[in-house]
A and B are shown apart, each in its own frame.
Chain A
Amino acid sequence: MSELTATQRLALIREKGRPTVRDYIPALFANFIELHGDRHFGDDAAIIGGVATFSGIPVTVLAQVKGRNLEENKQSNFSMPHPEGYRKALRLAKQAEKFHRPVICLVDTPGAFCGIEAEKRGQGEAIARNLMEFMMLRTPIISIVLGEGGSGGALALAVCDELAMLENALYSVISPRGFASILWKDATRESEAAELMKITAEDLMHFGVCEHIIDEPDGGAQTAPDLTAENIGEYLAEAVPRLKATDIDTLLERRYNKFRKIGVFAEE
């Protein structure tokens, strides 16, 4: 269990050298074939999608692409998807449903991209559609937050049967900086916000958002990417066959209830 504060984890997951899906996909999967495009507008490099096998089981992989350097980041828009990225993900998820392949989502994004073109092409609608369709998708879905799980842009790949988080990963409604800037009109209170917001893997387990925490080596995933990939693989080796063996209607009922029961309120 990580001893780090939310602020320390925030710094750690932003460190250069933190492994990305470009490291994890080859380490975890065999026979990976990347599939491009949403069939409506274009192909978004911020989300990689494709088919592969995991321990001999065909799966569909949907992954948000942080760059390992500026060049890669430019190419993948710093892992901030456009609507066509979410629509590509949905297309491939529906394809996975057709061929009864489990879907594995690797979540790592500061958020959905905010721009004129993204608005014109319906960023809100694209995310909303994924939430609704993933909820009813008749095949298992596992989401793993690798670093940043930023807001609706992360949730669009995280309506799932099980959510796992790397030990130092964070998942939040808004970045701590944004939180401080909006609620306190003071972006410099970022670290205070990070502690208050309850965004660590343990916090999210407490809220019923996260089901499983995957160990990272001391110093974070970047100190031993291979070991981290092994830990992810170990989790998947247990979870994929288990979910695949579960009756699909039972699975869908559980998936609905996983989200249905999240909420904190009083009732007279």
Chain B
Amino acid sequence: MALEDLFKVVKDRSKADTKPKADTKVKKPGMGVEIPRGLLFKCPRCGTVVYRDDFERNRSVCSACNYHARISFRERLEMTADKGTFTELDAGLTSLNPIDFPGYEEKIAELQESCGIKEAVVTGVCKIHKYNTVIGIMDSNFMMASMGSVVGEKITRAFEYATEHKLPVVLFTASGGARMQEGIISLMQMAKTSGAIARHSEAGQLYVTVMTDPTTGGVTASFASLGDIIIAEPKVLIGFAGRRVIEGTIKQKLPDDFQSAEFMLQNGFVDMIVERKYLRPTLSKIFRTHNYTRMEEYKGGAGA
């Protein structure tokens, strides 16, 4: 099965990512002093340990291997949109429990509390380098940003809004795939979002995908792969099937770079790999070459 094991894999990879508990202590090699683990970031790709402050100042990019780590909706918005230009769309949508999966509502409520967002994607309109655009940002902290009814509906509405207002769409994808807790309804969101993209595309509007860590499963097999231009962040995981499923099939271990952004570029499924620090100017150039006009002269500065 396509999606089996995917969550396991993504979770395994994310374990190293999540903030270690602040009360445990770690000895930093060669330093001889104990410091709280919460102050450190260990790169899940290369294992390098750095101070969290330095790491965050570096836009949450590993200074050793250039892995572009997972960041929250808030952090992404701040480094992408022009300051003060973001207006959220469809903020009031929340999940129900279509197949009565035990504990689903409680899990959602918990995540809403801990993540400070209502679902795994936030959509809205903003300016990037003064270009008006619809933006969607998936946050892997929220149930590995799996796609259920709300994610599907918000993305669909974002494209419908963009079609109506003749705007481009920039989507930051990150997902473990379909949200199995919603059963077949989650699978149908793949078709629904793809339909809205088809209409936006037919209306001659631009859709840019930015694939971030991890873009997998049913999201790769729907809206993430349908951008007119597909950008990926360095070293992120991009793929359809879970690594363990494939390893189980072929009975051997896969190379580390399998299903990386670089692997996808080499195989022809992304247009370019762009580092975080160059993303805004890259998007600006893309808007410019698609005949979108700036609202006024851009004077610099990101941050919502």
Q: A132-B197, A173-B178, A263-B153 are in contact. Are A114 and B98 (CB under 8 A)?
A: no
Q: Which segment of A54-62, A174-182, A233-241 sits at the interface?
A: A174-182
- For this complex, 30 residue pairs linking A to B, each with C-beta atoms less than 8 Å apart, are A114-B1, A116-B246, A116-B258, A119-B241, A119-B246, A120-B267, A124-B224, A125-B221, A131-B195, A135-B198, A150-B2, A151-B1, A156-B221, A159-B191, A172-B187, A173-B184, A173-B186, A174-B178, A182-B4, A198-B99, A204-B184, A207-B98, A207-B185, A259-B188, A259-B192, A260-B156, A262-B192, A263-B153, A263-B185, A267-B93
Question: Is B191 touching A114 in the complex (CB atoms < 8 A)?
Answer: no
Question: Is A151 touching B187 in the complex (CB atoms < 8 A)?
Answer: yes
Q: Which residues of B contact A (CB under 8 A)?
A: 1-8, 90, 92-101, 149-150, 152-153, 156, 178, 180-192, 194-199, 201-202, 217-218, 220-226, 239-242, 245-246, 249-250, 254, 258-259, 267-269
Q: For the complex, give the distance between the alpha carbons of A182 and B12 in Å.
A: 13
Question: Is B267 touching A122 in the complex (CB atoms < 8 A)?
Answer: yes
Question: Is A264 touching B188 in the complex (CB atoms < 8 A)?
Answer: no
Q: Which residues of A contact B (CB under 8 A)?
A: 110-112, 114-116, 118-125, 127-129, 131-133, 135-136, 150-153, 155-156, 158-159, 171-175, 177-179, 181-183, 196-199, 203-204, 207, 209, 256, 259-260, 262-268
Please give, as numbers and ranges, the residues of chain B lying within 8 Å of A119 by CB-CB distance.
239-241, 246, 258-259
Please give, as numbers and ranges, the residues of chain B lying within 8 Å of A114 by CB-CB distance.
1-2, 240-242, 245-246, 249
Question: Is A182 touching B150 in the complex (CB atoms < 8 A)?
Answer: no
Q: For the complex, give the distance between the alpha carbons of A116 and B255 in Å.
A: 11
Which one, B101, B185, B191, B202, contacts A155 given CB within 8 A? Answer: B191
Q: For the complex, give the distance between the alpha carbons of A182 and B254 in Å.
A: 21
Question: Is A151 touching B194 in the complex (CB atoms < 8 A)?
Answer: no
Please give, as numbers and ranges, the residues of chain B lying within 8 Å of A125 by CB-CB distance.
220-221, 225, 269
Please give, as numbers and ranges, the residues of chain B lying within 8 Å of A116 by CB-CB distance.
246, 250, 254, 258
Question: Is A265 touching B94 in the complex (CB atoms < 8 A)?
Answer: yes
A187 to chain B: closest residue by CB: B4
Question: Is A265 touching B150 in the complex (CB atoms < 8 A)?
Answer: yes
Q: For the complex, give the distance between the alpha carbons of A167 and B199 in Å.
A: 34
Question: Is B191 touching A264 in the complex (CB atoms < 8 A)?
Answer: no
Please give, as numbers and ranges, the residues of chain A lying within 8 Å of B223 by CB-CB distance.
128
Q: A260-B156, A263-B185 are in contact. Are A112 and B2 (CB under 8 A)?
A: yes
Which one, A128, A136, A151, contacts B220 given CB within 8 A? Answer: A128
Q: For the complex, give the distance between the alpha carbons of A112 and B2 in Å.
A: 6
Shortest B34–chain A CB gap in Å is 34
Question: Is B225 touching A129 in the complex (CB atoms < 8 A)?
Answer: yes
Please give, as numbers and ranges, the residues of chain B lying within 8 Å of A159 by CB-CB distance.
191, 194-195
Please give, as numbers and ranges, the residues of chain A lying within 8 Å of B241 by CB-CB distance.
112, 114-115, 118-119, 123
A266 to chain B: closest residue by CB: B94
Q: For the complex, give the distance between the alpha carbons of A181 and B152 in Å.
A: 25
Q: For the complex, give the distance between the alpha carbons of A131 and B224 in Å.
A: 12
B178 to chain A: closest residue by CB: A173
Q: A114-B245, A119-B239, A124-B221 are in contact. Are A182 and B92 (CB under 8 A)?
A: no
Question: Is A124 touching B94 in the complex (CB atoms < 8 A)?
Answer: no
Question: Is B96 touching A131 in the complex (CB atoms < 8 A)?
Answer: no
Q: For the complex, give the distance between the alpha carbons of A158 and B184 in Å.
A: 13
Q: For the complex, give the distance between the alpha carbons of A125 and B215 in Å.
A: 12
Please give, as numbers and ranges, the residues of chain B lying within 8 Å of A153 by CB-CB distance.
2
Please give, as numbers and ranges, the residues of chain A lying within 8 Å of B217 by CB-CB distance.
152
Question: Is B184 touching A112 in the complex (CB atoms < 8 A)?
Answer: no
Question: Is A124 touching B225 in the complex (CB atoms < 8 A)?
Answer: yes
Please give, as numbers and ranges, the residues of chain A lying within 8 Å of B97 by CB-CB distance.
264
Shortest B211–chain A CB gap in Å is 10
Q: For the complex, give the distance between the alpha carbons of A131 and B156 in Å.
A: 14
B189 to chain A: closest residue by CB: A263
Please give, as numbers and ranges, the residues of chain A lying within 8 Å of B2 by CB-CB distance.
111-112, 114, 123, 150-153, 174
Shortest B191–chain A CB gap in Å is 4
Most B C-beta atoms less than 10 A away, residue of A133, A203, A268 = A268
